[in-house]
Structure 1
Amino acid sequence: MGERLAGAEKEVLVEIVRFTQKNGLKGAEGGWKDFLALNDKKYGVSVSDPKKRTKDVLLAFLVTFSKDFQKYFSKLVRRHTERRAIEQYMNEFSGKISPEQKLVQLTTEHTEYRKNYYFPSYQEGWKIVRIGKLASSMNSGAMLAIDCEMVLCNDGTEAVVRVCVVDSKLEVKLDELVNPLKAVADYRTNITGVSKKDLEGVKFSLVDVQKSLKKLLAKGKILVGHSLYRDLYVLKFDYSRVIDTAYIFQYANLPTTASASLNSLCKSVCGYTLREEGKPHDCLKDAEAAMNLVTAKLKHGFNDPIEIAENSVPESDQMKLLAHRIPVYLPSQELLKILSGNPSIEEKIDARIRGDFYSTCILFKDIDEADKAFDELDGQETKDTSGRLQKSVLLKRDNGDVASFFIRKMVYGSRPNNTDVSKKRAEPTDNGEQQREDVDGDKPKRQRTSKKHGEKAKTPVVE
């Protein structure tokens, strides 16, 4: 076992074990619960919360993984160590810290940061970029803002098809269409603004994007974006010196795990409308908008909570339903057989695990299909603590077992009219009894389906 992993604090090891749970990782003795069942005859899986286990037990589990995985775990420990070093540096040399770096720190202190910015960069194709020397990074204020457009591929994953980067003066540093290099199921042209024809002859690839970003971010520049982790996830680019504009503002009337859309923030903070209702996203304008928000935050503070329309969600989120409090033994694909239409399940980045339950998002081709699927779903209709409609359903499995869980809409309040819907990337919140499930487990930048470029009652059993 590496010295770094062995010397890590228990808090860090707890995070790593939870990371393995979230991503379904298994060592030589299986996953976390498999390991407990094999090695703890007294308590077994009855005490499965990693936080309630000793450091020795956590280490014993992690050492069952291959050397490659242990190297990756060591990187997670190093990241935690670097974060602690930054916090100490800022406390000791607060007068030397750039205002921009303070926003980086504000981002990392957000309750959702550790959940969303721990990437599976052990997987093939990921690029991990270090931020460089600590002192120079703390004093630097150089920034770049990024935005991406994604399409849905036949294999159920998302792929980037356009990427734009601007500097703090809004000068364009990168604006490229990207060949996804695999079959596309849905170009989402009405949102992304990208069609099949646009990508004909495009040779610029994901690897080319990664190379360009690494070069642009030389000397520890700060990367800015709105729900930036979604862009980084689809770009397979692990970078820690970031400012997330969804995290640096406070909201007066949204759940603590929710965030406002880029469009809503532009209206509230910068005083302009980013796009008209129903218009596709403009990747370049969205990158500029993220930089404008950071500039406004640096100049004016905006320390008081911002009022955001509760009834607003982006089109991309209206095309989804959130399934939550799902028993971990129930494969996510089984959820599809109780829903009409032709839905798919989002990737692991949106599968959140909390104890014996998890949550995930179900994707539909358009808003009407998502609404129809929810309306036709058998189950007692209620509202969660944020006012979003949800149904409690039972699913009878082929082996006779019955699983219960909730399926929830993404909109706030009652069913909104189209004219009432503005664009907001909202973080899902569960029913009142389990509203913290998502926090530890995806607004749902889900990953995002398509970001911009553009009282008890008997519940029927669903066979």
Structure 2
Amino acid sequence: MEEWTANLDKEVLVELVKIAQKRGMQGSKGSWKEFLSVYDKKFGSSLSDPARRSTDALAAFLKTFSQDDLKFFDKVIQCHSNRSTVEQFKENSSEVESPEQGLVRLTLEHSQYPLDYSLPSHKEGWLVIKCSKKKKTMRSTAMVAIDCEMVLCEDGTEALVRVCVVDRNLQVKVNELVNPNKAVADYRSEITGLTAKDLDGVTCSLSDVQKSVKKLLSHGTILVGHGLNNDLLALKIDHARVIDTAFIFKHGDGTNFRRPSLNNLCKAVLGYEVRSKGAPHNCLDDACAAMKLVLAKIESGFDDVIPLVHESVPDMELSKLLLHRIPVNVPSEELHKIIPGDFLIEIKPQKKARGGTYSAFAIFKNHQEANQSFENISECPEKDSSGLPQKCISFHLQSGVTGSLYVRKMARDNFLVQVPSRKRASQVEETAKESKKLKSDDVVGEQTKAGSNPCDGHLKEIERLKHELKLRDEEISNLNKLVVALTRKQGL
């Protein structure tokens, strides 16, 4: 273990700790914050950003984990190694990088790649397709696209029930129904389009599918998919040469990573919808769509910004908070002891494999109460992979169960109807009214001359005031952190 951590750059150590936080992982001394409370008597967990901690502190935390957890961390390190291999090949090769290889590199360089593609391939039943570093393999431009559908089994796991693979000419290479070989609790017919009757007499097994896919991925063939890590998890296949269409497009202003749906990408890039709203997935259509997106990206270049189709957030959705990465050993009724406020719980059906966690919605009376509950959570806010505000809560229940989960808003903070709390809502309205009273004559006069809507100026003023309140909140938060640190230092 000493040698394992000693050979890693701080950047990698920071990423390992952040991934441990996101997955709610705990070592022999608890979570990252719990570890800091013991490790650092001076500041404790008040300085919890891994990037601001020393290499020694990061390594000491990682050393508290079990061998199974260390095997997972090894996969994260392998993801970094995959990146390095592709980058070195580009630097050392005298040839111009092919568009296909460029998209592989773009996928591997994405910030989300180590988290999503650290697959548990050390476990039984997994197929690891080793990628040769030979020039012939690395130069290969052969591609196949894949999509899978899964059902929920009675033992709480997920099982593969359909897989489709197409080549770059959209010729079907694999189109199989798969016997889950387990008792199925939910066929998720609204998503998979399948029922128990569809699987009657199906003999194709996961092992059979693995053999078929392995043949297609020999000699450096690139595997394409949307959210491809989920398909690999269902297939129990680990393959390094991948292109994930959720990673290779720039979205909106390009400042935040936002994971688009396959349907939205197809609307924006290809000009058509893969499916109508509420319709089940079609595995073959989704595989073809992923391949078409890659081919469109190759033709249009790497640097274009793809505008996403805007989806409005209904008022009913704004009254919810998404609770995710909830450990399965935490009953839904216990969530009321962890999340502040008065709400109902709605368990969210799983579409993809999530391991030992589940998700749920906390449903409040209105969006103000949902926002107030989020604000009452003391942990520092961060952004999820879609750029939405969320907070990570560590908990210790009376039953002795400890762990962590994430609480996420349903829209961004700059969404027009969203404000942090009722109090701040009234502050914004009062200040805006006062501003309107002072400037109304001038604003209306100028806008009338210009032929524009007088409301536009009011909306801009409200947005400006909300931005000022946000900056003030950040200042207060920083001051609170400083007070906590000084209090701990003085032993008060």
Distance 1:49 1:376 in 2: 34
Q: CA deviation at 1:31?
A: 4.5
The answer to whether the aligner puts 1:264 opposite 2:264 as a matched pair is: yes
Can you give the 5+ residue segments of structure 1 that lack an aligned partner in the other structure?
353-359, 363-369, 416-431, 434-463
How far is 1:197 from its partner? Answer: 0.8
Aligned pair in 2 of structure 1 residues 70, 185: CA closer, same or farther (>3 Å)? closer
Counterpart for residue 171 of structure 1? 171
Q: CA deviation at 1:251?
A: 2.2
Q: Check the 8 A contact 1:150/1:162 in 2, yes or no.
A: yes
Q: Which residues of 2 match residues 77-92 of structure 1 at below 5 A?
A: 77-92=77-92
Q: Which runs of 5+ in 2 are unaligned?
A: 338-342, 375-382, 418-469, 472-492
Distance between the aligned counterparts of 1:76 and 1:125, measured in 2? 20
Structure-2 residue corresponding to 1:51: 51
Task: Name the structure with the higher helix share.
Answer: 2
Contact 1:98–1:138, Cα closer than 8 Å, also in 2: no
- Residue identity in the other structure for 2:231: D
Residue in structure 2 matched with residue 323 of structure 1 by the alignment = 323
Partner AA of 2:217 in structure 1: L
SS of 1:246's equivalent in the other structure is: coil
Tell me if structure 2 keeps the 8 A contact 1:146–1:166: yes
Paired residue for 1:305? 305
Please state how far the C-alpha of 1:18 moved relative to its aligned partner.
3.0
Per-residue deviation, residues 172-206 of structure 1 (Å, max 9, x unmatched): 22111122233333222132111111112223233
**Cross-structure match for 1:339:** 344
Distance 1:271 1:414, change over 3 A: same
Q: Deviations over 1:385-432 (max 9, x none)?
A: 999999xxxx99879xxx9985644799799xxxxxxxxxxxxxxxx8
Distance (Å, rounded) in 1 between the aligned partners of 2:205 and 2:290: 24
Structure 2 distance, partners of 1:340, 1:77, is 38
Query: 2:151 is matched with which residue?
Result: 151
Q: Cα RMSD between the aligned structures?
A: 4.5
Q: More deviation in 231-240 or 378-387?
A: 378-387
Q: What's 2:223 paired with? A: 223
- Tell me: CA distance 1:380–1:108, structure 2 relative to 1, closer, same or farther (3 Å): same
Q: What is residue 280 of structure 1 aligned with on the other side?
A: 280
Q: Which amino acid aligns with 2:180?
A: P
Matches within 5 A, 1:22-101: 22-67=22-67, 69-70=69-70, 72-93=72-93, 95-101=95-101
1:130 aligns with 2:130: yes
Supply the AA of the counterpart residue of 1:269.
V
- Counterpart secondary structure, 2:252: coil
Query: Quick one: distance in 2 between partners of 1:58 and 1:50?
Result: 7
For 1:233, the aligned partner's letter is L
Q: What SS does structure 1 have at the residue aligned with 2:194?
A: coil
Counterpart in 2 of 1:15?
Answer: 15
CA contact (8 A) 1:145 1:166 kept: yes
Provide the TM-score with structure 1 as the length reference.
0.69
| Residue 236 (structure 1) aligns with | 236
Q: Indicate the percent of aligned positions where both proteins have the same amino acid.
A: 48
Instruction: Call closer, same or farther: CA 1:110–1:178 in 2, change over 3 Å.
Output: same
SS of the equivalent of 1:234 reads helix
Question: Residues 93 and 244 from structure 1, CA distance in 2 versus in 1: closer, same or farther, beyond 3 angstroms?
Answer: same
| C-alpha contact (below 8 Å) 2:166/2:172 kept by paired residues | yes
Structure 1 partner of 2:107: 107
In 1, Cα distance between equivalents of 2:209 and 2:13: 33
Give the Cα separation in 2 of the matches to 1:192 and 1:209. Answer: 18
**Preserved contact between residue 323 and residue 407 of structure 1 (Cα < 8 Å):** yes
Count of matched residue pairs = 390
**Separation (CA, whole Å) in 1 of partners of 2:415 and 2:181:** 40
What SS does the corresponding residue of 2:147 show, helix, strand or coil? Answer: strand
- 1:291 Cα shift? 0.8
8 Å contact from structure 2 (residues 160, 178) kept in 1: yes
| Cα shift readout 1:267-318 (whole Å, capped 9, x = no counterpart) | 33223332334432211111111111111211232743223221179xxx99
| 2-structure distance, mates of 1:29, 1:388 | 30
Give the Cα separation in 2 of the matches to 1:264 and 1:378: 26
Task: State how far apart, in whole Å, the 2-side matches of 1:406 and 1:152 are.
Answer: 24
Q: Contact 2:224–2:245 at 8 Å: present in 1 too? A: yes
Which residue is equivalent to 1:453? Answer: none
Residues 217-249 of structure 1: per-residue CA shift (max 9 Å, x gap): 112211100121222233333322211112212
Q: Work out whether residues 129 and 238 of structure 2, in 8 Å CA contact, stay in contact via their aligned partners in 1.
A: yes
The Cα shift of 1:322 comes to 1.9
Paired residue for 1:374, among 363, 386, 390?
A: 363
1:269 counterpart SS class: helix
Q: Which residue of 2 aligns with 1:436?
A: none
Distance 1:267 1:87 in 2: 32
Contact kept? 1:253, 1:310, Cα under 8 Å: no
Seen in structure 2, the aligned counterparts of structure 1 residues 410 and 173 have a Cα distance that, compared at 3 Å, is farther
Answer whether contact 1:382 1:389 (CA < 8 A) is retained: no
Question: Aligned equivalents of 1:211 and 1:404: distance in 2?
Answer: 37
| Change in 2 beyond 3 A, CA 1:47/1:409 | closer
- Paired with 1:244 and 1:388, the residues of 2 have a C-alpha distance of 21
Q: Which amino acid aligns with 1:139?
A: R
The one of the two structures with greater contact order (alpha-carbon pairs below 8 A, sep at least 6) is 1
Instruction: Give the equivalent residue in structure 1 for 2:480.
Output: none
Q: Is the 8 A contact 1:160 1:235 kept in 2?
A: yes
Contact (CA 8 Å) 2:256, 2:387: kept in 1 or not?
no
In 2: Cα distance, 1:24 partner to 1:9 partner: 23
TM-score w.r.t. length of structure 2:
0.65
- Matched with 2:246 is 246
